[in-house]
Chain A
C-alpha cells in the first residue's frame, strides 16, 4: 500500500510543478492581478469599501474648494451656534439652555426643543480630538461632519445590503449611496443639519433591525434599540422607523412568516428603544402618548396577544378555542376602542401634528397651515426631480422590487415595504426625497446586481460550456452587450451625480457667486456684510425684526436678539411680524414699538437680481398674518385682476406697506440697467410704482454693497419728522 501510494504521488507532483511553470510564463500581468484579487477577495472588498469611503467624503467638498470652510444656509447656523454653546458650556448647561436671543420677548428653551444628536456628535468628536491634542476648530468639525457621516452611511448601506442579500448587492448599494444626489443635497460639507447624521442613523437602525430579525438574537435587537436611540436623538424623522418596523412585523405576520426570531427582535427593540427614546427631553412622553407612536405600541400588544392565543390554542380543543377567541376578541377590541377614545377625548393621546397631516394629505397644509406650506422644501415633489436626484436608480428601482419578490425573505420584505412607503412620502414633500434615496440605492443595487450576475455567468470562461445555464442564441454576445450597457449606464450615472453635486447642491447660499464679464468670478458677500455690521455697530441688546428665514443667521452671525426665527414654534408671533411688514409704516410703528424693535432687516434682490428676496416672500407674510388676524386680507395686495405687481399698477396697500418701503427706499433714483428707467427692479422686471417716498418712522442705518441686506433704525418717538 505504502509503496503504491508513493509511486502514485510522485509523478503527480511533477506534473503540478510543470503546470505552475507554464502558468507563470504565459499568463499576462493583468490576468495575474485579477487572479490575485479573486483569490484575495477580502482585499478587493476592503479596498473597494475604502475607495467608496473616500469618494463619498470628497465628492461633497465642492463648496469648500470653491468658497471656503463655511456653514451653509439657515438651519445649520442654529446647529452651529448650539454646538458652540455645548462645547463651551458643557452638556448640562446645554440641556438647561434658555435662549433669550430668540423669540423676543418670549425666548426659547433650546435644551428641551432640539434633537441634540447632531450637536453632541460634533462635541464628542471635538472633545476626543482635543484630548489627543489634535486641535481642530469646532467650525471645521461642523463643516465636515456631514461628509464624514455620508461615508459612514455608505459603509452601513453595504452591511444592510449584505444582510438582506449578499456582499455584491451591498457593495453596489454602498457605491450608489456614496454619490447619489438625493442624499448629497443634504450632506455636502457645510450643510450642518440633522439630516446629515440622521440618514446614517436610519440605515444603521434598519441594518440592525434586519440583522436582529435574521438572527433572532437579543444582542442585535439591543443594538438596534441603541441605533434607534441615536436616530431619535438626531432627527424627528425617527417616526418613520417607529412606524415602518411595526408595519414590517404585521406584514410578516400576515404573510405567515411569523417566527420566534421576529418576536424576540421586535419586543426587545420596542421596549428598549421606547425607553431610550424617552430620555431625549424633546421627545419626552410622546412614545406612549402621541398618535404617531400608537401603531408601534399596538403591534407590540398584538404580538403578545398573538403569542398568547397560539399558546392557548395548543392547550384547548378547536371548539373551545373558537368560543374563547370570539369572547376575547370582542372584549379586547371594545376595550382598546374605549381606551383610545378616552385617551383622545381627555387629551392624553395627542392628535396628529400639522406636519404629519400634510404627510397623509398633501393639500392639508396649503389650506390650513400657511407656515408649513410657505417652506419650499415642504412642497410636493416634481416628477423631474426624481430623475435629477436619482438618475438611473429611479428606473432600476422597480427591477429591485421584482428581484425582492423573487428572492423573498424577511429582509427583502422589509426592503419592499421601505421602498413603497418612501416613494409615497417623497411624493408628498420634496425634502423626503432624502428618505427615498437610500432605499432607491439598495433596490437599484438589487436590480443591477441580479441582472449582472445573470449575464456575467455566460462571460466566465469556465461556464462557456455549462449546460445548466439557460441556453439561447448568441448568448455570449447578448450577455456582453448587457454588461457593457450597464457599465456605460454606471459611467453616465457617475457623471450625472458629480454634475448635479457641483452645480446644484454645492452653493453655500450665504455667499453668492456670479460670473462677470470675461468669466471672472464675482462674489456677493452681502449677507455676512450686513450681519457683521449689526454685530459691531449696534447695541448688544438691540432687537432686530426680520422675516423668520433670517432669524437663525442673525442670532449666529450678528449675535443680536431676533423676534422670530426658523424654529417657527409660535405661529402667532410670526403672524405679528408678518402683519408689521404688511402694514403701513404708521401702523407697523405701533407694532414695532410694542415689540421693542430697534432695527428692521430686509433682504432685497432688486438691484442684482436675487430672486429669493423678501418681496417675493411677501405674499406668505400676508397669508401667515391673515391666518391669525382677519383684518389682513391677501386680496388687498393684489391688483383687481389678481396679480401681484410692484409697478405703478400694483395695489396701493402693497405699495405703501412697510416691506415695500424698506426694500425700495431710495431705489427710485437708481439706474440698474441700461435703457431702462430709474428704479427698475431686476427680479420683477418692472419699474417700481412708488418711487420718491420718505420714511417717517425709520431711517436707513445700513445697506450692503449690492443692496441685498438693508437695515433700518426705528426712530424714537420724539424724533418723528
Chain B
C-alpha cells in the first residue's frame, strides 16, 4: 500500500512537473520582455547584433530568421550574457539554441541583402543602394518592447520607411520602441541610401596548400575571382575623369591580411605578373597588409581574376604525434568588407601520407579525395578538397587536417635521386663499352 501511495505521489508530482514544463515549452506563455537590434550597414555586408531579454530562464530558445534572409546568412552565432558561445541546431530558418538563461545575444552577418538602386549608373553618378528588412524582429514569441537602430554608411538618405516612432539622425535611423508585437508579425522596412564603399564580391575563392616536409614549408596559392557587384556602369568609361575625379564606388585596391612571417609573396594572373601591389606591416593587428590593385580599376559590374601565393614556415602549423600529423591552418586570409560566394579549399599532402579527418568549425566534414603527382613522386599524393558555399572573411577561420605519415618515407626522394643518377652513369659506362657499328673494325 505504502509503495503504491508513494508511486502515486511521485507520478502526480511528475505529471505536474511535466505539465508545468510543457506549458513553458508550448511557447504560448513565453514572452520576450525586450529586444534590441543594431543593424550596421557599412557596404553591401550587413551586420546585425540582437539582444533578447526573456521574462524567464529557459533551456531552449527558438530563433527565427525571415525566409529570404536564411540563404543570405554567411555567419550566425549565439551567446549568453557572459558572451559564451551557445550551441544550436538549425532546421531551415529555425535555430534551436541551448540557452539556459534569460538573455540571448545574436550576431548575424548577411550578404546580398543590399541592392544597388538604380541598378545601372554612369561613371560619375553617386551610388545608391536599398536595404529591406522588417521593422519588427521576426519571432516565435510575443515581444513586449523592441527597438531597432540602423547605422548607414553615409548621411545621405533618399528615403526610408517611417513606422512611427522613427527618427533619422545623421547616419542613424532609430525605429521604436514598438510594444506588444504578436508572434510572426512583420512590417516592411526599406531604406534607400548612398554608399561610397565599393561592393567587393568574390565570385569564387580557391586556396591550394602544399605541404613540403623536406623544406619545412607550407606553400599557399589563393585564386580570386573578384566582381564589383555595385550598380553596373553604363555608357562610356573615361580614363581622364577616372584619373581626375575618380569613379563611383570603383574597386581600386583589394586588401588581404596575411600572417606576419609570410614570405615570397607573388601576385599574378594567367598572363603574367601584376606589378601593382604593396605590402605594409600593421603593428596593431600584427598582420601583413597586402594591398592588391587589380590591373584595371573595377567599376560596377566589372570582373577580374588573379592569384597570390606565399610561403610560411611549416613548424607553426604542423603538429606531430608519432605517426599522426595535424595541419592547423586557416581556410582563407582575412579579406575585409568582402562577400564570398564560393570557396574551394584543397591540401596536397606529402607523398604516402593518408588523411584521416578534416575538421572545420569544430566539426568533421566530408571531403573529396583525388590523386596528384608532384616533383619526383613515385606514387600519387592525396589531394583533399572541400567546397563551401558561404562564410565571412573578416575573422580567421581554422581548419585542421589530420593525416598519418611514416617518417621513414622521407628518405624516398633522396633515394630516387641517388639511384637515378647512379643508373645514368652505369648506363653511360655500358653504352661506351658496347660496339654498335656494323662492320667488324
Shortest C-beta distance, A558 to chain B (Å), equals 9
**B271–A557 touching, CB < 8 Å:** yes
Interface residue B295 (Cβ < 8 Å from any Cβ of A): yes
Question: Please, which residues of chain A bring their CB within 8 A of the CB of B377?
Answer: 133
Measured CB to CB, the nearest residue on chain B to A529 is B295
Is there an interface contact between A707 and B239, defined as CB atoms closer than 8 Å?
Answer: yes
Closest to B266 in A: A68
A655-706 contacts to B, CB under 8 A, are: 666, 669-670, 699-705
Taking the closest CB of chain A, its distance from the CB of B371, in whole angstroms, is: 12
Query: Which residues in A have their C-beta under 8 angstroms from that of B375?
Result: 133-135
**Which of A203-211, A372-380, A495-503, A530-538 is found at the contact surface with chain B?**
A530-538
Chain A residues near B184 (CB, 8 Å)? Answer: none
B295 and A702 contact, CB distance less than 8 A: no
Enumerate chain B residues within 8 angstroms of A666, measured Cβ to Cβ.
238-240
Does B303 contact A537, Cβ atoms closer than 8 Å? yes
Residue B302 at the chain A interface, CB threshold 8 Å: yes
- Whether A704 contacts B296 in the complex (CB less than 8 A), given A68-B273, A134-B376, A528-B272, comes out as yes
Residues of A within 8 A of B414 (CB): none
| CB of B97 to closest CB in A, whole Å | 43
Contact B236 A701, beta carbon cutoff 8 Å? yes
What residues of chain A lie closer than 8 Å to B374, measured between beta carbons? 133, 135
CB proximity of A36 to chain B, nearest CB, Å: 23
Shortest distance in angstroms between B404's beta carbon and chain A's nearest beta carbon? 23
What residue in chain B is nearest A536 (Cβ atoms)? Answer: B303
A226–chain B nearest beta-carbon distance, Å: 17
User: How far does the Cβ of B101 sit from chain A's closest Cβ, in whole Å?
Assistant: 51
Instruction: Name the B residues within 8 Å of A703 (CB-CB).
Output: 237-239
A525 sits at the interface (CB 8 A): yes
A602 to B375, CA, bound (A): 44
Within 8 A of B (CB), among A530-560: 531-533, 536-537, 557
Q: Give the distance in Å from the alpha carbon of A531 to the alpha carbon of B274 in the complex.
A: 13
Q: Is A360 an interface residue (CB 8 A)?
A: no
Residue of B239, B240, B269 ringed by the most chain A CB atoms within 10 A: B239
Chain B's nearest CB lies how many Å from the CB of A714?
A: 13
CB–CB B304/A704 < 8 A: no
B 165-187 to A, binary, CB cutoff 8 A, 1 in contact else 0: 00000000000000000000000
* Of the residues A135, A532, A701, contact of B271 by C-beta under 8 Å: A532
Chain B residues, Cβ within 8 Å of A510: 272
Considering the complex, which residues of chain B in the window 236-259 have a beta carbon less than 8 Å from any beta carbon of chain A? 236-240
CB of A141 within 8 Å of the partner chain: no
| Bound-state Cα–Cα, A447 to B301, Å | 67
Contact of A533 among B238, B273, B296, B376 (CB under 8 A): B296
Could you tell me the distance in whole angstroms from the C-beta of A520 to the nearest C-beta in chain B? Answer: 12
Q: How far is the CB of A532 from chain B (nearest CB, A)?
A: 5
Minimum distance in angstroms from B30 CB to a CB of chain A: 53
A406 CA to B303 CA, complexed, in Å: 70
Q: Is the CB of A701 within 8 A of B237?
A: yes
- Docked complex Cα distance between A700 and B275 (Å): 25
Question: Which of B235, B237, B272, B303 has the most CB atoms of chain A within a 10 A radius of its CB?
Answer: B272
**Cβ contacts under 8 Å, A670 to chain B:** 240
Which residues 296-318 in B have Cβ within 8 Å of A in the complex? Answer: 296, 301-305
The answer, among A134, A699, A702, for a CB contact under 8 Å with B296, is A702
Residues in chain A near residue B237, CB distance under 8 A: 700-703
Alpha-carbon distance A511/B295, docked complex (angstroms): 13
Q: Does B17 contact A (CB under 8 A)?
A: no
Distance (whole angstroms) from the CB of A331 to the closest CB of chain B: 42
Are A536 and B302 in touch, CB under 8 angstroms? yes
For A525, the chain B residues whose CB sits under 8 A away are 274-276, 295
| B305 nearest CB neighbor, chain A only | A536
Closest to B299 in A: A537
Considering the chains assembled together, what is the distance between the CA atoms of A133 and B304 in angstroms? 32
- Count contacts on B: residues with CB < 8 A to the other chain: 25
CB distance from A180 to the nearest CB of B (A): 29
Interface residues of A in 133-151 (CB under 8 A from B): 133-135
Q: Chain B: which residue is nearest A557 at the CB level?
A: B271
The CB with the most chain B CB atoms within 10 A, among A68, A532, A704, is that of A532
Residue picked from A510, A529, A533, most chain B C-beta under 10 Å: A533
- Knowing A135-B374, A702-B296, say if A528 contacts B235 (CB, 8 Å): no
Q: Does B373 contact A (CB under 8 A)?
A: yes
Q: Are A528 and B271 in contact (CB under 8 A)?
A: yes
In the complex, A430 Cα to B431 Cα: how many Å? 45
Contact pattern, A 513-534, Cβ under 8 Å of B = 1, otherwise 0: 0000000000101001101110
Chain B interface SS verdict (over half): loop
Given contacts A532-B295, A533-B295, contact A70 B236 (CB under 8 A): no
- Least Cβ distance of A510 to chain B in Å? 8
B236 and A700 contact, CB distance less than 8 A: yes
Q: Is the CB of B275 within 8 A of A135?
A: no
The answer to whether A531 and B303 have CB atoms under 8 Å apart is no
A427 to B: closest C-beta gap in Å? 37
Beta-carbon contacts under 8 Å, A56-82 to B: 67-68, 70
Assembled-state Cα–Cα distance A531/B272 (Å): 12
A348 to B209, CA, bound (A): 62
CB distance from A369 to the nearest CB of B (A): 33
Query: In the bound complex, do residue A669 and residue B273 qualify as a contact, i.e. CB atoms below 8 Å apart?
Result: no
Contact with B along A308-350 (1 / 0, CB 8 A): 0000000000000000000000000000000000000000000
Report if A523-B303 is in contact (Cβ < 8 Å); known contacts: A529-B295, A701-B236: no
* CB-defined contacts of A68 to chain B, threshold 8 Å: 272-273
Residue of A nearest to B272 (CB): A70
Closest-CB distance, A46 to chain B (whole angstroms): 13
Chain A residue nearest to B239 (CB atoms) is A703
A133 interface neighbour in B269, B273, B301, B376, Cβ under 8 Å: B376
- A704–B294 alpha-carbon span in the complex (Å): 12
- Give the residue name and chain of the B residue nearest to A527 (CB): B271
Least CB distance from B411 to A in Å reads: 17
Residue of B nearest to A700 (CB): B236
B106 to chain A, nearest CB (A): 38
Residues of B contacting A701 in the complex (Cβ-Cβ under 8 angstroms): 236-237
Q: Is A537 a contact of B239 with CB atoms below 8 Å?
A: no
Residues from chain B with a CB closer than 8 A to the CB of A529 are 295-296
Asked if A699 and B302 sit within 8 Å, CB to CB, the answer is no
* Bound: A134/B295 CA distance, A: 32
Q: Mark B204-246, 1 if CB is under 8 A from A, else 0.
A: 0000000000000000000000000000000111111000000
Residues on the A chain within 8 Å of B276, using CB? 525
In the complex, A529 Cα to B302 Cα: how many Å? 13
- Give chain A residues whose Cβ lies under 8 Å from the Cβ of B274: 525
Measured between beta carbons, the chain A residues less than 8 angstroms from B235 are 699
The B346-377 residues at the A interface (CB cut-off 8 A) are 373-377
CA distance A703 to B239 in the complex (A): 6
A703, closest chain B residue (CB): B239
- In the bound complex, CA of A239 to CA of B274 (Å): 42
> How distant is the Cα of A70 from the Cα of B238 in the complex, in angstroms?
30
Given A68-B273, A523-B275, A557-B271, A532 contacting B296 (CB threshold 8 A): yes
| A536 touching B272, Cβ below 8 Å | no
**What residues of chain A lie closer than 8 Å to B302, measured between beta carbons?**
533, 536-537
Bound CA span A650–B106, Å: 72
Residues from 202 to 249 in A contacting B, C-beta threshold 8 Å: none
Contact residues, B249-299 vs A (CB, 8 A): 269, 271-276, 295-296
Chain A residues with Cβ below 8 Å from B295 are 525, 528-529, 532-533
B contact residues around A528 at 8 Å (CB)? 271-272, 295
For the A-B complex with A68-B272, A525-B295, A536-B303 known, give 15 more contacts whose Cβ atoms are closer than 8 Å.
Answer: A134-B376, A135-B373, A510-B272, A525-B274, A528-B295, A529-B296, A532-B271, A532-B295, A533-B302, A536-B304, A700-B238, A701-B236, A702-B296, A703-B237, A713-B236
Cross-chain pairs A/B with CB under 8 angstroms, 10 sampled: A68-B272, A133-B373, A133-B375, A135-B375, A523-B275, A532-B269, A669-B240, A700-B237, A703-B238, A705-B239
Interface set of A (CB-CB < 8 Å, partner B) = 67-68, 70, 133-135, 510-511, 523, 525, 528-529, 531-533, 536-537, 557, 666, 669-670, 699-705, 707, 713
The 3 closest A-B CB pairs, nearest first, are: A703-B239, A700-B236, A699-B236
